[in-house]
Amino acid sequence: MFSIGNIEIKRDELFVIAGPCVIESEEILFKTAEKLKEITQNLKIPLIFKSSYDKANRSSIKSYRGPGIKKGLEILNKVKEEFDLPILSDVHSVEEIQIAKDFLDVIQIPAFLCRQTDMIVEAGKTGKPVNVKKGQFLAPWDVKNIIEKIESTDNKKIIITERGTSFGYNNLIVDFRSFPIIRSMGVPVVFDATHSVQLPGGAGTCSSGQREFIPYLSRAAVACGVDGLFFEVHPEPDRALCDGPNMIPLKEFKELLKFLIEIHNTVKNLSSMNS
C-alpha cells in the first residue's frame, strides 16, 4: 500500500508498532529498541518504533510527561540512526507538526485530537504517513470523515488505530466490528492492544490498566484480520513513569508476537482457501 522508511505496509501482511509509552531515558529507549529489532527481525515482521516526547493528555498536573519536543526528537533521531528503524510519535498542535515532520517517519494524531481538522490537514500536508488513533468517543463509521480530511491534501498514506471505546466510567471496551468496517474504507487498520486495556483515570491521579488481558484481545483482533498491532513495551513496566499497568514487559513480547503471527498466518491461509 505504501512504504514507511525501510518497510512496506502491505494488505494482509502484519506489521508492528511498538516501544515505551514515553521517553524516560536514552538507556531505556535504546535497550527496548535493540531488543524489539532483534525480535522482529527473527520473526520477519516489520517494526515501527514508537515513543512519545510529550504525553500532553495526563490525568494529573503531577504526571510525568516526557522530555519535551526538542530533546525528545533528538533522542528519537538517535534511535532511528542507531537501529535503522522508522520512528513514530504523537503530535499535539499544528506548530508541533512543523517541527516533528523533519524527524518522524509516521506522524500520530492522538485519540482525543482525532477530530481536530487543522491538525489532521496539516499532518496530511507533510506527505508523511499519518496514524490516527480513533477517539474513544467515535463510532467506526465516523472514521470516514477523518480519512477524507487527510485525503484532501492528496496524501493516501493513512493508518487508523483502534484503541477501545469509552464504556461507563474509567473503562474501555473494544467493538471488534470496527476492524472490518474501517478496513472496508481502504486503509490499514491497527489494533492498539495496550491502550485498549487501559482504565483511564482509574487510579485517581493517573490511569490504571489490566495488562493480563492484552494477549486475549490481541489474539481476537488478529483473528478479525487487522493489518497491524500497536504495543507499548517496557523493560520494567511496574517501574515505568507512565502507563505501566497497561504495558507489556519486554521479556514477554517475543512469545506473544510469535503466537499472534501464527494466528495471522492461519487466518490468511484459510481466507485464501475459501476465496
What is the domain partition of the chain in residue ranges? 2-274
At residue 251's C-alpha, the angle toward residues 212 and 86, to 5°, is 100
> Which pLDDT does position 271 carry in this prediction?
78
Question: What is the model's pLDDT at position 205?
Answer: 63
Q: Is the pLDDT of residue 274 over 80?
A: no
pLDDT higher than 90, residue 193: yes
The pLDDT of residue 203 is: 67
Q: Pick from 69, 60, 20, 25: which is nearest to 230 by CA?
A: 20
Residue 48 CA neighbour count, 13 Å, CB half: 28
Percent of the chain whose pLDDT exceeds 70: 98
Residue 175 phi/psi, 5-degree rounding, is: -95, 105
- Where does the pLDDT of residue 275 fall: very low under 50, low under 70, confident under 90, or very high at 90 and above? low
Second-level CATH architecture of 2-274:
Alpha-Beta Barrel (3.20)
Length of the chain equals 275
**Sequence-separated (6 or more) residues with CB below 8 Å from residue 93:** 119
How do residues 1-48 score in pLDDT, each as one tens digit?
899 999 999 988 999 999 999 999 999 999 999 999 999 999 999 999
What gap in Å lies between CA 197 and CA 74, rounded to an integer?
30
Output the pLDDT for position 59. 74
The residue to which cell 513480547 is assigned? 253
Average pLDDT over residues 150-168: 96
What pLDDT digit, counting tens, does each position of 56-87 carry?
A: 877 788 788 999 999 999 999 999 999 999 99
**Its pTM surpasses 0.85:** yes
The CA angle 49-231-227, to the nearest 5 degrees, is 85
Over 80: is that where the pLDDT of 237 sits? yes
What angle, 0 to 180 degrees and rounded to 10, lies between the N-to-C axes of helices 26-43 and 69-83?
Answer: 40
Please state which of the ranges 188-192, 213-217, 268-272 shows the lowest mean pLDDT.
268-272
Is 122 in a helix, a strand, or coil? helix
What pLDDT is attached to residue 262?
97
The larger pLDDT score, comparing residue 242 to residue 159, is at: 159
CB 195 within 8 A of CB 184: no
State yes or no: pLDDT of 194 exceeds 70. Answer: yes
Sign of CA dihedral 104, 110, 115, 119: negative
Q: Report the pLDDT value the prediction gives residue 60, as an integer from 0 to 100.
A: 80
